[in-house]
Amino acid sequence: MTLREVTRTVIKLVEDASGCSVVVSEDASVKTLVASRIARGANRIHTILYNPSIVKEPDYLICYQCGFILRLFGIPAADRVDLAGTTEGRQVVHRLLSAPDGPGKKLKLSSESISALRDQLFDGLMTQLRSIPIGFRVDA
């Protein structure tokens, strides 16, 4: 993988701002275009993975993910907020799906299917809430 000069520059900005290395890798198991993990706690490496069978030129996606990291590390640590789901939130979605008049019952889903749907809906919503507003700013 050969990255453009601008991409290497953005990666260096992230490393300088965060004090953590950025590792970019191809990973055919990634189900989306790109996935990333921001360094936290003892994990001192930002990881950006992209699926080479879907993405031929990953530079934009890599820079986009770096934008999320730069936005996070651009504010003091005490002021950072990390949106994360709770067990209670997941349980609320489960109750809604399992209610007598809920979609799980109407569709005659098994309890395993309701749990899978719960996870898909809850995790998807959390990803959207965490990513879309910031993503608009990063993209701009």
For 20, other C-beta atoms within 10 Å of its C-beta total 17
pLDDT at 137: 75
Distance CA 40, CA 130 (A): 16
For the cut 80, the answer to whether the pLDDT of residue 130 exceeds it is no
Model confidence at 138: pLDDT above 90: no
The more confidently predicted of residues 71 and 137 is 71
pLDDT band at 133 (very low <50, low <70, confident <90, very high): confident
Mean pLDDT of 12-31: 96
Give the three-class secondary structure for 43: strand
Across the range 121-139, mean pLDDT stands at 81
Indicate if the pLDDT at residue 135 is higher than 80: no
Query: Is the confidence at residue 65, as pLDDT, over 90?
Result: yes
Instruction: For residues 129 and 136, give the distance between their C-alpha atoms in angstroms, rounded to a whole number.
Output: 12
pLDDT of residue 136: 79
Give the pair of three-digit tokens for residue 63: 């820079």
Beta-bridge mates of residue 34: 50
Model confidence pLDDT, tens digit, residues 30-46: 988 999 999 988 999 99
Paired tokens of 90: 């997941």
Residue 106 has pLDDT above 80, yes or no: yes
Whole-model pTM?
Answer: 0.72
**Residues 33 and 41: beta-carbon distance below 8 Å:** no
Q: What is the dihedral of CA 53, 46, 90, 78, to 10 degrees?
A: -150
Extract the tokens encoding 76: 């003091």
Query: For the purposes of burial, counting CB atoms within 10 Å of the CB of 73, is it exposed (0-12), middle (13-18) or buried (19 or more)?
Result: buried
Mean pLDDT of 91-120: 94
